[in-house]
Structure 1
């Protein structure tokens, strides 16, 4: 690949990263303006000047097209934009405002300018109190009641720690509800990280196909020594699951909970 192609690929990566990072507000633009003001008004060799220098250096490195390409390819393909989190936006913005205010001699003008900066911050950001940011949950755990009911069926039967195979859509919630329930969950489960790739892909194909592959799921359950199996009611008939040496121990509105009883 030509250097020019790498350069433009890096520019594309950076533009996407900045778009994700800044969101819909204008705080990033405000930060850049205040960074320039901090550089102008801070004294040579001062703490403020060093902070400004560090920040500018970080921007130059992180927003270098060739660095962006390298970081994306070696480890950060989907999360490169998070490297921008290391920029001290809050600290630099505050220092920039203070550096400007310190240049004002009259106290009443300092107060007025501080109030003006506050209004600018509010204007550049977005309101926290919107309908999209708040939602009335069904319970104190802030997870679906179906998950709680399903987990309670397992906990009542197990009387302690239980190893459970459950569909992806409820696995992480089950674990959040009770640490006594062990499930394959998280990014290792969903994306196949940390050496799980082959086995997890095998399991996910069984869960997510047009039809649930009960034989494959039972095979994995027994190979991993999992005791309980949670199946969506619309994915498998009770009789078909019980034919694989499982016993139905409880149900919720959407899920059936089975326990492996072994070959009789």
Structure 2
């Protein structure tokens, strides 16, 4: 996890990751209470699965000794937080909540139990605005911006070969969601290259001298950071990466730069310009 290293924390690494991951949530506490109740009163095999599962995790991937001497050697430190996902906190407390409500036979008691359980979840949980900033409901069933769907339809209409898999440069606002929506388009900019260029440490180690990263950085400098000092590097990066289309948010200065450097505007949406990299086609003709 970002800012947390095994070398620095040693046996305290797992505890630090858990604390950073769960933050102010008290759901792990509810989970622990549920496990305790299962040990004392649980008779159903369906509830005891949480005991065995949790015990296995704490003997392996949550074991500070295993983490310090095995995880560190596997170079899995930055991805370790993913192990925390497999602790069944949410499904378990949902199960315990339903079990608690079901233990009452009278309807009015069940109703009161539902209110009590929901109240506990709200009080001990973390408000959404503390987790997600600028929260907005999904615009469609694909959980991506409507404009991305429109852009992908336009790109498909501009392809001479419907079965082709062209490389596309999307700016930071669409790059990560584009790969989730339409797999036919290959992304010129890797997710890890993008977040590494932004200064993130969770992308792992990068060879800044590699040709692949240099090309991606030359493109990122222009489309995401509006640095126009090296137009030749930008053109070469588009050409050598075999990029066919470029999609960026509307920006007059960026628009002028792209037009001067081998990109031809072929369409637009409310917020985005769509370009074809014609410089690539000219180079092929040569």
Normalising by structure 1, report the TM-score: 0.67
Shift of 1:238: 5.0
2:156 and 2:97 map into 1 onto residues whose CA distance is 55
Distance 1:248 1:68, change over 3 A: same
Distance 1:89 1:229, change over 3 A: closer
Instruction: Find 2:166's aligned residue among 163, 168, 179.
Output: 163
Unaligned 5+ segments in structure 2 are 1-5, 197-202, 222-226
Find the residue that maps to 2:158 and give its secondary structure.
Answer: helix
Shift of 1:100: 7.4
Unaligned 5+ segments in structure 1 are none
Larger Rg: 1
CA contact (8 A) 1:189 1:200 kept: no
Alignment-derived partner of residue 30 in structure 2: 30
Instruction: Find 1:218's aligned residue among 212, 235, 256.
Output: 235
CA contact (8 A) 2:169 2:243 kept: no
1:151 and 1:95 map into 2 onto residues whose CA distance is 41
Shift of 1:222: 3.1
Distance 1:254 1:62, change over 3 A: same
Q: Deviations over 1:108-140 (max 9, x none)?
A: 598488444454234322456999574267888
Alignment pair present for 1:10 and 2:11? yes
Q: Deviations over 1:161-219 (max 9, x none)?
A: 462442541434455565453322443654689x9983431113312444353323333
* Correspondence list, 1:137-216, <5 A: 142-143=144-145, 145=147, 154-159=155-160, 160=162, 161=164, 163-169=166-172, 170-175=174-179, 178-187=182-191, 189-190=193-194, 198-209=210-221, 210-211=227-228, 213-216=230-233
2:236 and 2:24 map into 1 onto residues whose CA distance is 48
Alignment: residue pair count? 250
2:87 and 2:137 map into 1 onto residues whose CA distance is 34
Q: Tell me how large the CA RMSD over aligned residues is.
A: 4.5
Normalising by structure 2, report the TM-score: 0.63
1:139 and 1:120 map into 2 onto residues whose CA distance is 32
2:191 and 2:234 map into 1 onto residues whose CA distance is 20
CA contact (8 A) 1:230 1:255 kept: yes
CA contact (8 A) 1:97 1:117 kept: yes
